[in-house]
């Protein structure tokens, strides 16, 4: 176990922070999946039970949460590709920092159109 | 395996004998290798499955506003989406369990804490996979009497 008394291997910058963000987004997605499977299981209870819960979700607060969820998915997916490239591409470790910024650009390209589309639905109903 | 004397040069970035990190529990067969491979393989598949799921449910048509019982009934009356969602459920849950297992291993210091957290983790994963699988395959879109689905009218 890494402890302060042993010194530290944490080096900061793109490499460490993308790892931290990958962990946090991964744990959040795992917790969401648990709730998502349980609420979807309500279709097996009755149409009314499921629709009641879906209606309760249709408000701006949950809508913003959904945008955050999709942000976590996009980052985790793109950074996952970066990790695979670091592991399997001979030059991956050398370019990990550049690939982090490619992930950041890809994130903006995918997330901004989604956020416009999703939030305009959320705030217009 | 030959015994390594302490004079044997090692290729580690930090030689083990100079490292102040304790390295324990070296012998678990190939499990950790396969778990590492699984994370990369399932990750690629999940990228396709989850992005497809999000695009169809949140971007097409009325987006999130359209999601209700009839929407789910429409999707799961097709074997294509049943298989899609089943694959996504199993891969995502196993990928998530393996990731959280790694996080637990990294941050717990006491064996008892580690054991309790992993017991909770594996129990929740079993619940999610069994429940999700049952729901996908025993779901009846026609229990809604006002359903307008073609599979429900005869």
What CATH number is given to the structural domain containing B127? 1.20.1300.10
pLDDT band at B4 (very low <50, low <70, confident <90, very high): very low
Q: Return the structure tokens found at A42.
A: 């309500």
Closest CB from B20, B58, B109 relative to A6: B20
Using a CB-CB distance cutoff of 8 angstroms, which residues of chain B are in contact with residue A33?
92-93, 96, 128
Using a CB-CB distance cutoff of 8 angstroms, which residues of chain B are in contact with residue A34?
124, 128
**Does B57 reside within a domain?**
yes
In angstroms, the CA A68 to CA A47 distance is 28
**Mean of pLDDT over chain B:** 86
- Domain extent, residue B134, equals 16-144
In angstroms, the CA B39 to CA B20 distance is 29
Using a CB-CB distance cutoff of 8 angstroms, which residues of chain B are in contact with residue A118?
58-59, 63-64
**Does B38 reside within a domain?**
yes
pLDDT band at B2 (very low <50, low <70, confident <90, very high): very low
pLDDT tens figures, B7-64? 555 555 666 666 666 666 556 688 999 999 999 999 999 999 999 999 999 988 888 8
Phi, psi of B44 (to 5 degrees): -65, -45
Q: What is the pLDDT of residue A26?
A: 97
B23 touching chain A per CB within 8 A: no
Q: Return the structure tokens found at B10.
A: 């090692």
pLDDT band at B148 (very low <50, low <70, confident <90, very high): confident
ipTM of the prediction: 0.90
Ordered per-residue pLDDT tens for chain A, 125 residues:
555 666 777 888 899 999 999 999 999 999 999 999 999 999 999 899 999 999 999 999 999 999 999 999 999 999 999 999 999 999 999 999 999 999 999 999 999 999 999 999 999 87
The secondary structure of chain A as a DSSP string is: ---GGG------HHHHHHHHHHHHHHHHHHHHHHHHHHHHGGGGT-HHHHHHHHHHH-SHHHHHHHHHHHHHHHHHHHHHHHHHHHHHSTTTTTTHHHHHHHHHHHHHHHHHHHHHHHHHHHHH-
pLDDT band at B5 (very low <50, low <70, confident <90, very high): very low
In angstroms, the CA A48 to CA A35 distance is 19
pLDDT at B146 over 80: no
B132 touching chain A per CB within 8 A: yes
Nearest to A21 by CA among B45, A13, B55, A8: A13
Cα distances from B42 to residues B12, B26, B36, in angstroms, run 30, 25, 10
Q: What is the pLDDT of residue B150?
A: 75
CATH numbers and ranges of domains, chain A: 8-124 (1.20.1300.10)
User: Searching chain B, which residue's CA lies closest to the CA of residue A51?
Assistant: B68
Nearest to A74 by CA among A36, A118, A125, A10: A118
Q: What is the pLDDT of residue B47?
A: 97
Q: What is the pLDDT of residue B26?
A: 59
pLDDT band at B83 (very low <50, low <70, confident <90, very high): very high
**Does B3 reside within a domain?**
no
pLDDT tens figures, B114-128? 999 999 999 999 999
**Does B152 reside within a domain?**
no
- Asked if A34's CB is within 8 angstroms of B64's CB, the reply is no
Closest CB from B63, B92, B139 relative to A118: B63
- Asked if B72's CB is within 8 angstroms of A33's CB, the reply is no
Nearest to B93 by CA among B58, B67, B130: B130
**Does B7 reside within a domain?**
no
**Does B112 reside within a domain?**
yes
A46 touching chain B per CB within 8 A: yes
**Does B1 reside within a domain?**
no
**Does B9 reside within a domain?**
no
Using a CB-CB distance cutoff of 8 angstroms, which residues of chain A are in contact with residue B131?
37-38, 41
For chain B, the domain total comes to 1
Q: Is A10 left (phi over 0), alpha (psi -120 to 50) or beta?
A: beta
């Amino acid at each position: 176990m890494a402890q302060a008394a042993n010194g530290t291997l944490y080096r900061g910058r793109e490499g460490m922070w993308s790892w931290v963000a990958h962990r946090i987004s991964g744990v959040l997605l795992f917790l969401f999946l648990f709730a998502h499977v349980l609420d979807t299981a309500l279709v097996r209870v009755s149409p009314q039970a499921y629709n009641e819960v879906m209606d309760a979700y249709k408000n701006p607060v949950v809508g913003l949460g959904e945008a955050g969820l999709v942000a976590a998915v996009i980052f985790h997916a793109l950074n996952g590709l970066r990790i695979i490239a670091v592991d399997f591409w001979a030059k991956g470790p050398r370019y990990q920092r550049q690939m982090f910024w490619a992930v950041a650009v890809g994130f903006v390209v995918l997330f901004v159109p989604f956020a416009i589309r999703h939030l305009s639905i959320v705030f217009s109903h | 395996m030959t015994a390594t004397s302490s004079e044997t040069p090692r290729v580690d970035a930090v030689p083990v004998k100079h490292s102040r990190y304790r390295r324990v529990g070296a012998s678990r067969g190939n499990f950790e290798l396969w778990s590492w491979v699984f994370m990369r393989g399932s990750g690629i598949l999940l990228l396709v499955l989850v992005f497809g799921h999000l695009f169809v449910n949140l971007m097409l048509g009325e987006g999130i506003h359209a999601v209700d019982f009839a929407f789910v009934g429409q999707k799961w009356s097709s074997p294509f989406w049943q298989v899609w969602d089943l694959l996504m459920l199993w891969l995502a849950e196993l990928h998530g369990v393996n990731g959280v297992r790694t996080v637990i291993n990294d941050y717990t210091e006491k064996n008892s804490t580690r054991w309790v957290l992993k017991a909770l983790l594996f129990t929740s994963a079993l619940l999610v996979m069994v429940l999700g699988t049952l729901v996908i395959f025993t779901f009846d879109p026609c229990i809604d009497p006002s359903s307008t689905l073609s599979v429900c009218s005869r």
